[in-house]
Structure formats: structure tokens, C-alpha cells
Amino acid sequence: MNRETTETEEKGKVDMPTIILYLLFLVMGWISIYAASFDLENATSMFDLSSRAGMQLVWIGTSLLLAFALMKIDTGFYETYAFIFYIGGIALLLITLLVAPEINGSRSWLVMGPVRLQPAEFMKFIIALVLAKAFNSYNFRLMKPKNLLLVSSIILLPFILVVLQSETGTALVYLAFIMMLYREGLPGGFLLIGISTIIYFVLGIRFSETFVGSISLGEFITTLLIIVFAAGMVRSYLKRREVSAIILTIPVVLFLVAFLISLFGVKVNYGFVALLSLGLTGLYLILLFLRFWKKPYLYIFLFVVASFAFVESVEYVFYDVLQPHQQTRIKVTLGMEQDLQGSGYHVGQSKIAIGSGGFAGKGFLNGTQTKLKYVPEQDTDFIFCTIGEEQGFIGSSIVLILFVIFILRLIYLAERQRTVFGRVYGYGVASVFLFHLIINIGMVIGIMPVIGIPLPFFSYGGSSLWGFTILLFIFLRIDKSQKRM
Amino acid sequence: MNSHNPLFKRKYVITGIIIVFALIYIGQLFHLQILSPKYREYADSHAFLRKTLYPARGAIYDRKGELLVYNQPTYDVMMVVREMEAFDTIDFCRTLNIDKQRFYQLNAEMRDPRKNPGYSSYTPQIFMSQLNVEEYGLLQEKLYKFPGIYIQHRTERQYKYPNMGLILGYIAEANKNEIAANPYYIRGDYVGKSGIELSHEEDLRGEKGVEILLRDAHGRIQGKYKNGEYDRAPVSGRDLTLSIDLDLQAYGELLMHNKVGSIIMIEPKTGEILCMISAPNYDPSLLTGRDFGKNYQSLEKNPYKPLINRAVAGTYPPGSTFKPAQGLIFLQEGIITEQTQYVCYHGYPPLGGKPACHGHASPLAIQYALATSCNSFFCYGLNAMLSNRTKYSDVNNAFDHWKDHMVDMGFGYKLGVDLPSEKRGFIPNSKFYTNIFKNSRWNAHNIISTAIGQGEILTTPLQIANFAAMTANRGSFYTPHVVKERKGAPLDTAFTNRRNSEIAREYFEIIVNGMADAVTKGTCYGANLAPEIQVCGKTGTAQNPHGEDHSLFMGFAPKDDPQVAIVVIVENGRFGATNAVPIGRLMLQKFFKGEIPETDKWLEKTMIDRVVLPYLYTKNAPPAATVTIPVAN
């Protein structure tokens, strides 16, 4: 057994494209940090350990050592001890929650003398490992209620702990594993529900301030959208085109009638017409269920009811449950408000910095917006601003494309794994990197709300760099030991 | 193995979603970086502070090199609100010599975005401006007690003498119109508003420089952009030397004390204005410093209008000082000769003795007519010219010839002096009268008062002085000007090119003889300085609708090789000989001798003490004395 492993290991090679991209990111990140933290008045050397760039060099060095060490550890070690890691990680999160001092409004840092660690960062690879281990067990099927409960517990337990540490951004990263779960058999319907939830939420809030008859424009649009979704589901799950057509015809007929009535000078409440259409759709679906006794009709009916309930609760949740600053962030992202002091100021300044870079950028160390500290957190969460300003469209597009190549490479590597363990872990790694990329760059360019998570390998910080390095190199180690397909 | 698993296809869905995200993000980058130039503009306006470097404004000297106007540092109290900590407000107020109420008022004004649009709590804001040196010293000593308070140095115009406020002019912050009209100016720039400061603004102001500074997110300055590669150093303003003689000017102002009017002396050989008094005058240092607004208002409200430079902007009927010009035209046009005689029976006979005249021999020729200022002679002359149908087709043609000569001699249009607000006066043409009489068959008798410088004729004191200089030169003049030298640049050719009249030199000699006689044995005997200096002159007594006649004197001296031409106008000073001639005499004495001889001291005292103020219909009018100023020693 041992000899066999050794043989395969000798055959296996570490995936060079990924290594090259990793090293490239480290170097570009280091240069970006130097540029972002460059002080016009006290310019320091890139190697000065008292500067951010110098310290990052230390983190890079230790990360490389860590990477070498990880490549030496046997793959079996991770599989064997995954749950131990998990228990240790949860324990650490609990300790952190109890003893951590408050730093920048969160209790997520363990301070041991000069060293500060953020256990939440390391929880990413631990969750990925545990999930991989769970999926690897014999005859594991995700959709068994027991397994579904197990998987969601593995994710939600640390999620809750990290939220309690007030590190919501990092906690949200754990939800990124949904992409991996989708690959491993989570029904598309779940994703559909997730996506429709987001759509309802965004539309409901974005158009909550104008009204159509008795309901807000947001509710009006989402109500009609629910009908369209229901029609689409009938068509794709039951293959009943005529039923789907009837569902779509209901609102069309009703609105036509309402419009004709309005021609006679009667003031028509179109909001009520929309609600009436939805009610008739629900009634029609339940009648179909009773008539044909086919469960999908019931499910679609329940989808309609749940969607409607969600839509109705969106405004309540938004205005009464969310904190004012969270409301503002979302409103700013949706373009409803110009918050020039708070998070809107940050995003505004980061868009100005990136936008002012133009096609080719202002050149290394010539960015005025970042040098003059207009951009907040410019060597951590907003590091992409420096690239955008100094390297322009060319530079920022190249970084974005390299990341996409990197993630697609990870997916390719994951797909070629022989074991479920390797594949699930690989997808977990890809999910985490993708989530970071989409949220971080989306935030900086003003598409996503401000959620404070770093850009992998670029943002300054030891914990996050170590965390990403461990996450990646465990996978490269697993990949190396596998026979190629 | 995986390919048999239907879930295998899901990697394409995932890949698809990743690529869609990437495309959206690259699209947004393209939108921000390439399609939206506004971000570049925002970035520049945030990060670059274009600090204007103000050049020193040029100094002004008199013709003898005496410094008149210079710059002196002044101090503004600046406040950086973010850096302020609680301090002893009472001590602060006491240091600045203000009360607490004023402190809060200044504070509110500084923070009011309407009054101070550039307000930021991170950058220094003007709290109180223009401290003097003593106040500055006091505050500087205590500055350590007041965190967030700074002192900013600026310069301010300073005037060494209280004279010639109207010639020097003043500077003040550029207003909206000036900024709109000239892109050079920005809000807060000082710009010449009147006098030399306005007419030579471009000489005096120099060229602003710029320093591009980097400003961080808190408004703090982080050094120069690219080490000053794009900075531009300011170019200092040009110093000016005036043709004005300070002593002469101050003496003229003294003589015009408690009078309204004007004195101008011109060097005929160059057109340089030696002095230009407009009374009442004001002390130029009133219009500088902290009390600018208050002083300006009081000057503007003064019914004697001390802000108007009467020498160039006052228009008066020239009265008899117009007769030499008339005579020149009649001689040049061949209407009369030196020998032509007209009768005078205490008036102009054809119109029943109007305009009236005074007792003198009759009939008389031009030279004697000038000496006695005979009205009748010039009425006959004008009639002879306008009725001459052998030379001119009709009265319009004749009158336009007359008008062209007048314009040729510098009347009716702006002379182009290097001072703002010059008026052109009024010399009518034939169309003007055709319009008035509603037909073109009017004749000389309809407009007979024109012959003696009354009627519609209006001239500025400068035009009369210029005519005197032209007569002194026997037919040519240089455009009068007050700036003699621009440091490092030649004078405009408009002031160095001689302007020749069409009238022949020989006719000028006849007129000069008449004017010499007027001084030695005629109406301006009071200006006779013979035998030392042979003065030529002409009085004027101009009827006007504003009360008593204006008293005028015009002349030059000496008769041969003239050094100076002069005009004196005393509003409502009655006969020319009453006020204008004695003042003219004293000015000529001062010019030629530097001192007033003992024999004339009594006259000097009389003229200084004499009050000739027009009656004002305004209630509570202050005596003009409050706006005239003492003379510098």
C-alpha cells in the first residue's frame, strides 16, 4: 500500500500552470501592495520590513515554506484527520469569540504577542476538507435528509460562529460551497430558488418607493415574475405547453380588460389586477393538482405561495430587520441612494480611482487617488483600485482574466480527480476563490454591495495569504498523488 | 467514469456562469475606464490642488522717481476647524480686538457655504483678513495657545502720499463680469478698478504662476506633483513711472481745496501730463485695507462725486477758450485773414447785440479779438463761414468742414489718454442740426452760441489742455498720457507718434500772438509772468445750466519754446479771471520756479482759502472740505 502510493507519487507531477499562476499572483500582489501603501512623503524600499510591502514579503516567504511543507504531507493525512481539524477549528472559533479583543469592530483576531491570526480564514479549507470527507463516504447521496442535514450543519455551524464574531463577509464565503454542492447533486431547483430569492429581493427593494395602485412597483413586477416562473416550471417539469400558455394568458386577459375599463374613465387599480392574476394562477394550479393528482403541480403551487410570502416580507425584513448601515450599503449598490459619506463614499472613490486609470493606466506609483488615500482599505479589500488606476483597463482586465483562468484550471483539475474526496475538495477550493473574486472585484467596481473580503493573493495580510495557500496546496497535493484520467 | 454521471454536465453550467460574470465585470471596467471620462476629471479635481502663485504687483513712481505705490505685507487669520481645540476665546478676541459677538459672526460667515463656497474643515479658511503689523505681532506671540489658527501673508497696495487717488486708481477683488470677460482671473484675484491700476492692469499685474500640489483625502497637502515639473513661476508685474510731478500735483490739489473742477498741465513736446487734478480728490489709501467697503460707500455717496475724474470725464462748455480754435478754422478756410475786421457794439449787431460783449475798440481784427475775447468777432466769423456759398455748396457742407477741423484739433472724440473713463465731449455735425431744425435750411444765426463755445459744444478739460499744447507746438500734439515709462517695455506708439493738424503753422502764430496779448494786456492779465516768462493764455466763462458760470483758463508758456500747457476749470467759479486765472498763475509759478515768490504769497493764501462750492440741492450735504485731503510735504 505504502509502496503503491510512493509509486503513484513519483509518477504524479504537481500542476505547473496553477503553480505559475500562484507565483504570478504573489508577485503582482506584492507590487500592488507596495504601490497601494506607497507614501509620497516617506517612500520606503519594497524590502523594508517596516512597510506593508516588506511585511507582505515575509508572508509570501512563509507561505512558500508552508506550500513546500504541505506538498510533503501524505494525502491520507487530510482524509484521516479532516474531522479532527474541523473540531479543532470550531473550538478555535469559540475561543476566539470569547477572548478576542475588538479590532475594527470585529472579534475575529487571536492575538498572541506580535502574531495576529484570524481563525475564520483557516476554516475555509477545513470546511472544504470535511465536506470532501463526508461526500467520500460509501454510498453517500446528498439528497438523503440525513446527509443534507449533515452537510448544512458542517457549513452553518462555523457560519454562525463567524457571524457572531462580526465577520459577516468571511462567514458568507462559507456559503460559496453551494457551487460545489450543485456540482455534487444539489437539485437545480435549489439554485433556482436561490436565484429567484435574490431577484425578488433586489426588485422588491429597488422599486419599493414607487407605487402601482395599492402595491409598490417592486411587488407589482415580482408578482408578474412569479406567474412567469410558474408558467416556465409547468412547461419544463410537466411538459404541458397549453397549461403554461393558459397561466400566461390569465394576466394578459385581465390587464386588457382593466385597460378597456379605464378607457371609460374608471380609475383602475393595476396593483390589484396583478394580485388577482397571481391568485387565479394559484387557484388554477391547485385545481390542476386535484384534477390530475400530479405532485409537481402542488410543488409549483407551493413555490408560488412561498414566493408571494417572500415578496411580501422583503420590505419588512429590509426596513425592520437590517441595520441602517446595511440598508444603506444595499441601497447604494442598487443605485437608490448616493451615500457620499459612508460606504457610498468608498465605492464612489474606488470607482473614481479605477475610472481615472483609463486604457493604459497612470503608471506604476503614479496613481493619485490611491497615493493620496482617497480610497479606503487600499492595500487590503480595495487593492484592485491600485491596479485599476495605475495599470488601467489593460492591467485590470489581465488580472481578472488570469483569475478566471486560475479558477477554470481548478475546476478542470477537480474534474480529473479519481476520488470523490479530491473532486469535492477541488470544487470547494474553486468555489471559495470564485466567491472572493466575484464579491471583491464586484464591490470595488460598484456592482456588488460592500462586503469586506480580500482579493486572494493581492490583499495585504498574513492570515488570508496563509489561508489561501493552505487551501490551494492541499488540493495540489491531492491532485499530484492521483493517477491521471 | 464521471462522464456517465449526469451531474458531469453541470461543470459546463458552472463554467458558463463564471464566464458570464467575467464578461459583466470586464464590461463594467470598460464602462468605468474607457467610456466615462468623468472619472478622470473627478480624480484630477480631487487630487490636484492648483495653487496660484501671485506675482508682486508693479510699483508706481512719479516722474522724478519718487515711489508712490508699493506693496506691503498684510496678514489674514486662518482657521483649520479640524485642528481646533477648545481655547480661551476671550483672550483670542482681545488679541484681535474684536468682541465675542463679532467672533461668532465671523465664524458663521466662514462656515456659510453661500459666502464661502470653498469651505472645508480640513483646509485653512480665512477667518479674519488684513491684520496690521501690530495685530499680527500680538497674535503671532500667542499663536501657540490657539491650535488650528494660522496666519497667512498676503500683500496689499500701499500709498506713500495722499495725492492723485483718481489717477492711481484702486484695486479690488475681481467681480463676476470681469471673471467672465477674461479667463485670466479667478475668484479672489485682485484687479485694477480705476485709474492707472485699471488702464495698465496687464503691466502691473504680471503673470500668475501655478504650483500643482497633491491633496489627500482629508484636504492635506502631500507635496508637489511630479516635483514641480508642471509648475510655472509667476512673473512680477511691471513697474511704471508716471509723467506726473508729485510736487506739482500736490500743489494743484492744495489750490483746488474746497473747489470743484480740474487742473491739467501737459508738456507740449511730449504729451506727458505733468499734473492732473480733479477736485474733490480722495486719499488713495482710503480704498485699500480693511475699511475699503465702508470708505468706498462714503465716497460714492458724496454729492460732490470725488470718484469721478473730472479731468477726463467731466464735460464742460469750453466758453471763450474755444475762440482760438474758431479763429484757426476761419484763417485756414480763408474766411478771414489776419487783417479782417468785424464790428462790435457791446454785442453781435445782426442779432440785436446778442450774444453781448464788453467794452473794447471796434472794429477789430483776430489778434485783438482774442486778447479782449470779443464775442461779436467770432459770431461774424462763423456766420461768414456758414453763409459762404462760393466755397461751400450749403450750410451742411460748410458746417461739416468746421466740424472736421474741430475733430482734427482733438475735440469731439476721445483723445486716447491712458486713463479709463475718458469722455468724448460733443462737437455736433450738420446732421445733428438738420434733425433739430427738422430741415437743412438752418443758418449760422440759429446756432450762433457755438461760435463762442456755448450751445451744444462740450469738451473735457483734457481736450482743452491738449489744444493748448497743440497751440504751443504750433499745430501738432502727442496723445496726452500719464505713464512715462514701462519698465522693460517701450511705450505704446499711440503716445510716441506725433499727431499733426491740417491747419498751417502760420495761422497758429497769429493765434499765439492773440493769446500772448490776452495775457499781457487782455482778459488774463492775472497770469502775466512777464518779463521772466512770456505766458500765452485765454480765459473762458462758460454758462451752464447748473448755476454760476464755470471759470476757465487755458494757456501755455513760454511763448517761444513752450515748456508747459495748462488748463484750469473751476466749476461755478464765475469769470475766468476770477478763479481759474489766479490758480493758473500759481501753477505756472510753481512749475517754473519751484516755489511761489513772496510777491504772490498773498494770492496763494487767498486761493487756498477760497471756497467755491456749487450749491447742492441734496439735504445734509457734507462740505467738500471733508473729502479733500492735506498735501504731503
Which domains, from first to last, does chain B contain? 50-242 (3.90.1310.10), 246-626 (3.40.710.10)
CB A435, CB A423: distance < 8 Å: no
CB B534, CB B559: distance < 8 Å: yes
Average pLDDT, chain B: 87
Rounded alpha-carbon distances, angstroms, from residue A37 to A285, B50, B454? 61, 25, 83
Helices (H), B68-200: 89-96, 100-111, 133-142, 165-168, 176-181, 195-199
| Residue spans of beta strands (DSSP E) within B220-359 | 221-224, 240-242, 261-267, 272-279
Q: Which of B1, B12, B14, B41 to probe the A interface (max A CBs under 10 A)?
A: B14
Of B19, B26, B40, the CB nearest to A358: B40
Instruction: Spell out the residues 6+ positions from residue B27 whose beta carbon is closer than 8 angstroms to its own.
Output: none
Q: Which of B101-115, B327-341, B406-420, B475-489 has the lowest mean pLDDT?
A: B101-115
Residue A349 with chain B: CB contacts under 8 Å: 217
State the smallest CA–CA distance between residue B210 and chain A in angstroms: 19
B14:A352 CB<8 A: no
Q: Centre a 10 Å sphere on the Cβ of residue B23 and count the other Cβ atoms it contains.
A: 11
In angstroms, the CA B540 to CA B519 distance is 13
In angstroms, the CA B587 to CA B566 distance is 9
Read off the pLDDT of each residue in A116-136 and give the average, rounded to a whole number.
92
Q: Establish if A482 touches chain B: CB-CB under 8 angstroms.
A: no
Read off the pLDDT of each residue in B181-188 and give the average, rounded to a whole number.
80
Q: Establish if B98 touches chain A: CB-CB under 8 angstroms.
A: no
CB B554, CB B578: distance < 8 Å: no
Cα torsion through B412, B416, B419, B420, rounded to 10: 60
Q: How confident is the model at residue A339 (pLDDT cuts 50, 70, 90)?
A: low
Q: Is B383 helix (H, G, I), strand (E, B) or coil?
A: helix
Residue B21 with chain A: CB contacts under 8 Å: 438
Instruction: Spell out the residues 6+ positions from residue A358 whose beta carbon is closer than 8 angstroms to its own.
Output: A392, A393, B33, B34, B40
Element housing B499 (H / E): strand B498-500
Note the pLDDT of residue B620.
Answer: 53
In angstroms, the CA B425 to CA B512 distance is 25
Q: How confident is the model at residue B117 (pLDDT cuts 50, 70, 90)?
A: low
Rounded alpha-carbon distances, angstroms, from residue B154 to B71, B138, B442? 9, 18, 64
Note the pLDDT of residue A7.
Answer: 43
Q: Establish if B222 touches chain A: CB-CB under 8 angstroms.
A: yes
Q: How confident is the model at residue A341 (pLDDT cuts 50, 70, 90)?
A: low
Task: Considering only the C-alpha atoms of chain A, give the largest distance between any 2 of them, rounded to a whole number of Å.
Answer: 89
In angstroms, the CA A350 to CA B42 distance is 12
> Grid coordinates representing A13?
507531477
Residue B38 with chain A: CB contacts under 8 Å: 355
> Grid coordinates representing B383?
456766420
> Grid coordinates representing B587?
501753477
In angstroms, the CA A412 to CA A475 distance is 12
pLDDT > 90 fraction of chain A, expressed in percent and rounded: 44
Note the pLDDT of residue A485.
Answer: 44
SS (H, E, C) B158-189: EECCCCCHHHHCCEEECCHHHHHHCCCCCCCC
State the smallest CA–CA distance between residue A353 and chain B in angstroms: 7
In angstroms, the CA B577 to CA B617 distance is 27
Question: Chain A residue with minimal CA distance to B8?
Answer: A183
B7:A185 CB<8 A: yes
Segment A207-237, tens digit of pLDDT: 887 888 788 888 888 899 899 989 988 888 8
Residue B44 with chain A: CB contacts under 8 Å: 356, 368
In angstroms, the CA A451 to CA A442 distance is 10
Owner of C-alpha cell 426596513 = A319
Q: Which of A118-127, A271-280, B62-71, B116-125 has the lowest mean pLDDT?
A: B116-125
State the smallest CA–CA distance between residue B224 and chain A in angstroms: 10
Rounded alpha-carbon distances, angstroms, from residue B247 to B161, B512, B589? 11, 29, 13
Q: Establish if B616 touches chain A: CB-CB under 8 angstroms.
A: no
In angstroms, the CA A348 to CA A376 distance is 11
Element housing B71 (H / E): strand B67-79
A354:B46 CB<8 A: no
B46:A374 CB<8 A: yes
Output DSSP code: residue B524: T
Of A355, A396, A411, the CB nearest to B40: A355
In angstroms, the CA A476 to CA A478 distance is 5
Q: How many CB pairs under 8 A join A and B?
A: 119
> Grid coordinates representing B378?
467770432
B25:A369 CB<8 A: no
Position B372 pLDDT exceeds 80: yes
Q: How confident is the model at residue A132 (pLDDT cuts 50, 70, 90)?
A: very high
Q: Centre a 10 Å sphere on the Cβ of residue B143 and count the other Cβ atoms it contains.
A: 14
Position A4 pLDDT exceeds 60: no
CB A435, CB A176: distance < 8 Å: yes
Rounded alpha-carbon distances, angstroms, from residue A468 to A17, A25, A421, A471? 17, 12, 19, 5
- Asked, as a colleague might, if the bond just before B531 is cis with ω within 30 of 0, I would say yes
Position B621 pLDDT exceeds 60: no
Q: How confident is the model at residue B632 (pLDDT cuts 50, 70, 90)?
A: very low
pTM above 0.80, yes or no: no
B42:A352 CB<8 A: yes
Q: Establish if A20 touches chain B: CB-CB under 8 angstroms.
A: no
In angstroms, the CA A366 to CA B244 distance is 56
Owner of C-alpha cell 506726473 = B244
Of B19, B222, B225, the CB nearest to A41: B222
B29:A400 CB<8 A: yes
Which has the higher per-residue pLDDT, B84 or B12?
A: B12
Read off the pLDDT of each residue in B505-511 and give the average, rounded to a whole number.
94
In angstroms, the CA A192 to CA B511 distance is 111
Element housing A431 (H / E): helix A420-444
Q: Establish if B39 touches chain A: CB-CB under 8 angstroms.
A: yes
| Residue spans of beta strands (DSSP E) within A10-125 | 110-112, 115-117
B318: nearest Cα among B216, B201, B466: B466
Q: Establish if B497 touches chain A: CB-CB under 8 angstroms.
A: no
| Residue spans of beta strands (DSSP E) within B268-382 | 272-279
Interface of A with B in 431-450 (CB under 8 A): 434, 438, 441-442, 445-447
Residue B26 with chain A: CB contacts under 8 Å: 397, 400-401
Instruction: Compute the residue count for chain A.
Output: 485
State the smallest CA–CA distance between residue B211 and chain A in angstroms: 16
Of A349, A354, A404, the CB nearest to B33: A354
Segment B476-486, tens digit of pLDDT: 999 999 999 99
A356:B42 CB<8 A: yes
Which has the higher per-residue pLDDT, A247 or B85?
A: A247
The 10 Å CB-count burial string (b at 16+, else e) for B597-612 is eeebeebbeebbebeb
Q: Which of B15, B23, B32 to probe the A interface (max A CBs under 10 A)?
A: B32
State the smallest CA–CA distance between residue B124 and chain A in angstroms: 18
Q: Establish if B217 touches chain A: CB-CB under 8 angstroms.
A: yes
Q: How confident is the model at residue B175 (pLDDT cuts 50, 70, 90)?
A: confident
Note the pLDDT of residue A343.
Answer: 63
Q: How confident is the model at residue B625 (pLDDT cuts 50, 70, 90)?
A: very low
φ/ψ (deg, to 5) at B335: -70, -40
State the smallest CA–CA distance between residue B200 and chain A in angstroms: 41
Q: Centre a 10 Å sphere on the Cβ of residue B343 and count the other Cβ atoms it contains.
A: 13
Half-sphere exposure of B82 (CA within 13 A, CB side): 9
Interface of A with B in 286-305 (CB under 8 A): none
Owner of C-alpha cell 456562469 = B17
Note the pLDDT of residue B147.
Answer: 83
| Residue spans of beta strands (DSSP E) within A167-307 | 211-212, 215-216
Q: Establish if A404 touches chain B: CB-CB under 8 angstroms.
A: yes
CB A433, CB A357: distance < 8 Å: no
Q: Is B582 helix (H, G, I), strand (E, B) or coil?
A: helix
- Kindly tell me the sign of the dihedral angle through the C-alpha atoms of B432, B436, B439, B442: negative
φ/ψ (deg, to 5) at A358: 65, -155
Q: Establish if B40 touches chain A: CB-CB under 8 angstroms.
A: yes
